[in-house]
A and B are shown apart, each in its own frame.
Chain A
């Protein structure tokens, strides 16, 4: 079974600083995707970044990057130059690749507050 664990219920960061959100996961599959989704106060789910497990290179999207440690089953999100608009709930999620299931498994989320 897939599980995703986010051990930080809440985080706070000063504007323009860098923050790292942690995520660990467990799966018996060798092929899978990992995602970070952002949920602002509007509660819409917005894809931030995606990582394919077969790729060794860490994904980056502008100010967002991940540290993917496959052996440790760790997938952290780094937000550089934090902005007030980054204030949101962040969910880590996993999905198997090429199998019978396409469902996303989400963690419990980390509420990030960016302080001015």
Chain B
């Protein structure tokens, strides 16, 4: 069964460093998403991406964050100048179409900023 895969599963980074979280969505999916879950809190929407551009972003997704689909398979989330409060689980998701289909989630990347 096709699945969304994320790498790495766990990343530790120094405060102020840049990190790139990687995702390979399901191959025939057209919509891509990043969500964040701070430990013990609810899952929060960060950004959605369609047709090589951001279709929606939350207030969390400020200039510190960026997304990119550098090739036909990867979808990346870049976090610049990481802060302690960026420590969280980051989930990538994809859906075949945006409106009428559910999103399938990857297993998440645990980001720890020290």
List A residues at the B interface (Cβ < 8 Å): 33, 35, 37, 42-47, 50, 91, 93, 97-109
Contacts and interface: CB of A to CB of B under 8 A. Distances in A.
Interface stretch (B18-26, B35-43, B72-80): B35-43
B105 A45 contact: yes
A103 B48 contact: yes
Nearest to A33: B102
Nearest to B6: A44
Contacts of B42: 91, 106-109
A108 B43 CA distance: 8
B56 A43 contact: no
Given A106-B44, A109-B42, A50 B102 contact: yes
A88 to B, nearest CB: 14
Which of A45, A50, A98, A108 is most buried by chain B, counting CB atoms within 10 A of its CB? A45
Interface string B22-60: 000000000101010100011111001000000110100
Contacts of A104: 35, 43, 45, 103
- Interface SS majority for chain A: loop
- Interface SS majority for chain B: strand
A50 B33 CA distance: 19
Contacts of A101: 48, 56
B104 A43 contact: no
B112 interface: no
A70 to B, nearest CB: 19
Contact of B99 (A42, A47, A91, A102): A102
Contacts of A108: 41-42
Given A101-B56, A102-B95, A47 B102 contact: yes
Given A102-B31, A103-B56, A106-B43, A43 B107 contact: yes
Interface string B66-99: 0000000000000000000000010101010011
B56 A98 contact: no
A47 B45 contact: no
Contact of A105 (B45, B89, B98): B45
Contacts of A106: 42-44
